[in-house]
């Protein structure tokens, strides 16, 4: 077993037995490890959003401490994904509500639909394609999901972007070598391709 994971599991075991020092140390370890990930996923958001989401993750992790059986970091990752997705859903809903309350946007939308020369169904087709891709990405591993979301955020990757992504992954998985990193990326691409073709 990875020594790092073993150390976290020892802290978990002691925390569940009522050791406050171990509990605090474990929560601090989780906070430090996930902060950079949240910062990475919330690029463009305010530092206060990053702090708030990270704290929500740690709070939820602490509340579930007694039901975590092993690998507390893996459990915290799941919470992190859920909190980040929840954050973006809320952001998307808020933006949509702001648009729908904007009289100019409503008028423009109505004009587009009412215009006989406008093909408003094109938007539906794009939405359908996006749903298919989104559902396919959900079937992939956390590494692959992070990789494809990184591509979407960047609008494509150049050599420097790959290097930045590699450096980010190294923070999460220090023992992952570069050849294995690129093999994973190739696997992610092949896997997504098969899912979209099926």
Give residue 107's domain range. 1-118
- Give the number of domains in the chain: 2
Task: Indicate the residue among 118, 148, 170 that finishes a domain.
Answer: 118
Nearest CA to 84 out of 42, 26, 28, 120 is that of: 42
Determine the average pLDDT of the residues in 135-151.
82
The pLDDT score that the predictor gives to residue 125 is 41
Strand, coil or helix: 109? helix
The pLDDT score that the predictor gives to residue 55 is 93
Q: What is the pTM of this model?
A: 0.52
Is 99 within 8 Å of 93 (Cβ atoms)?
Answer: no
DSSP 67: G
Residue 64 pLDDT > 80, yes or no? yes
Determine the average pLDDT of the residues in 158-167.
82
127 and 93 share a domain? Answer: no
Task: Indicate the residue among 118, 137, 159 that finishes a domain.
Answer: 118
133 and 41 share a domain? Answer: no
pLDDT digits (tens, 9 = 90+) for 73-117: 888 988 988 888 888 888 777 666 665 555 554 444 444 434 444
The pLDDT score that the predictor gives to residue 101 is 59
């Amino acid at each position: 077993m990875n020594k790092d994971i073993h150390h976290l599991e020892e802290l978990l075991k002691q925390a569940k037995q009522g050791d406050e020092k171990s509990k605090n140390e474990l929560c601090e370890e989780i906070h430090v490890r996930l902060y950079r990930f949240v910062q990475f996923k919330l690029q463009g958001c305010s530092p206060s959003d990053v702090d708030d989401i990270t704290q929500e993750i740690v709070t939820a992790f602490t509340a579930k401490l007694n039901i975590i059986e092993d690998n507390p970091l893996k459990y915290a990752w799941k919470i992190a994904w859920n909190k980040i997705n929840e954050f973006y859903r809320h952001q998307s809903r808020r933006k949509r509500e702001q648009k729908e309350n904007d009289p100019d946007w409503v008028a423009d939308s109505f004009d587009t639909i009412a215009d006989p020369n406008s093909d408003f169904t094109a938007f539906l087709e794009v939405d359908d394609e996006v749903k298919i891709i989104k559902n396919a990405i959900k079937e992939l591993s956390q590494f692959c999901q992070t990789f494809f979301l990184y591509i979407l955020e960047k609008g494509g990757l150049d050599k420097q972007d790959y290097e930045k992504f590699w450096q980010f992954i190294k923070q999460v998985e220090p023992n992952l070598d570069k050849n294995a990193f690129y093999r994973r990326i190739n696997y992610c691409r092949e896997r997504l391709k098969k899912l979209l073709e099926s």
